Structure 1
Amino acid sequence: GDFLRSVKIGEWIHADFKRVRNYAFHKRFFKLLQLGFDYWTPTGGTVTSREQKLISGFVNFLCGSAGQEYTPALNEAAEQYLHNVATLRTGDVALLKSFDAFREWVTVQAGFYTEHFYPDGSRGRRAKSIAFASMDETEFQQVYKAVLNVLWNWILFRKFSSPEEVENVAAHLLEFA
């Protein structure tokens, strides 16, 4: 009220309009992340690059023997096999998981990051902030969809039948929170 009274008739003013963020949707986003985090078992480094190359070479050999350049089903079977091997190898290892590091990784993989250059010439990526003041509702919806895709493609496809089922489970978990 006071601001509008202080503006003179005919005076130009500027305003920045944004859609108000939906707090319930924000909470659902974090439930989705938590679901992915809960189903994720770190397996990094348990399958060596030599083992990966060996399996990849074997898949190429099989495809060549069958007269095909690439077979998605065979490639997916090889990836699943390597995942199973990695999971078995981590069975006796104490694993430490960090939700903040996981959230950072997922957000970067979803394409929402800033790139930084360091004095040694290397580059690093940092996840963009999803704080209410940093991102409007439209951009947040894009982040949500991209994060769901990352979680589905990397982790949740092994446990659920579809991304829609994942969203439903996250929504149900939110009801119990």
Structure 2
Amino acid sequence: MQLQLARTTNALIPADEQSREALKGIALGKTVQAKITQPRNCKFHRKYMALLNLAYDHFEPKPVEYKGRMITPGKNFDEFRKWVAICAGHYEFVAFPGEEFRVRAKSIAFSKLSEDEFQKLYSRSIDALLKNLLSSYRNYQEVEDTVNQIVREFG
């Protein structure tokens, strides 16, 4: 069972009707075990996705040579999102047999990243995108303003 709780000066209390009903099933005086997490801000997550979509719209794959022939790779949003995370320093190293390893983007799932860590990822993502892709933007604030406008219009 997952509950939404709000902290008051004296206790944690149900924050919504579903949580209130769920707690009625626990007898008074019973001890329960809970894992407490603070959910991330959904609006900020949408803002991050707006940033990624803005950048993805600016991305056009370039032809490359592969095994002696020229190809133009297709665009893939999920792989692009992972590339941005890696460029922003949100990655881990994964070992393979021998001495091989790969760099993999870490998860941005709500349960894997605190709000503070997610805000840092957002900021570092803008920096990485300015350096690698969004050259038509003059600075961080211009990207931030554009993302905020997108969120206001479509969020």
TM-score scaled by length of structure 1: 0.62
Q: Describe the shift of the 1:6–1:39 C-alpha distance in structure 2 as closer, same or farther (beyond 3 A).
A: same
In the TM superposition, structure 1's runs of 4+ consecutive aligned residues that sit over 6 Å from their partners are: none
Further displaced range: 36-45 or 167-176: 36-45
Q: Shift in Å at residue 34 of structure 1?
A: 0.9
Mapping 1:46-61, distance limit 5 Å: none
Q: Shift in Å at residue 4 of structure 1?
A: 7.7
Residue in structure 2 matched with residue 25 of structure 1 by the alignment:
44
Q: Describe the shift of the 1:169–1:3 C-alpha distance in structure 2 as closer, same or farther (beyond 3 A).
A: farther
Listed as ranges, the gaps of 5+ residues in structure 1 are 8-12, 47-92
Q: Which has the larger radius of gyration?
A: 1
Q: Distance in 1 between matches of 2:127 and 2:142?
A: 13
Q: What is the count of residue pairs matched by the alignment?
A: 126
Q: Shift in Å at residue 44 of structure 1?
A: 6.5
Aligned-pair RMSD on alpha carbons?
Answer: 2.6
Q: Which protein has the bigger helix share?
A: 1
* Greater relative contact order (Cα < 8 A, sep 6+): 1
Mapping 1:86-101, distance limit 5 Å: 96-101=74-79
Residue in structure 1 matched with residue 59 of structure 2 by the alignment:
40
TM-score scaled by length of structure 2: 0.70
Q: Which protein has the bigger strand share?
A: 2
Residue in structure 1 matched with residue 125 of structure 2 by the alignment:
147
Listed as ranges, the gaps of 5+ residues in structure 2 are 1-22, 66-70
Q: Shift in Å at residue 22 of structure 1?
A: 0.6
Q: Describe the shift of the 1:4–1:171 C-alpha distance in structure 2 as closer, same or farther (beyond 3 A).
A: farther
Further displaced range: 22-31 or 163-172: 163-172
Contact 2:62 2:73 in 1 (8 A): no
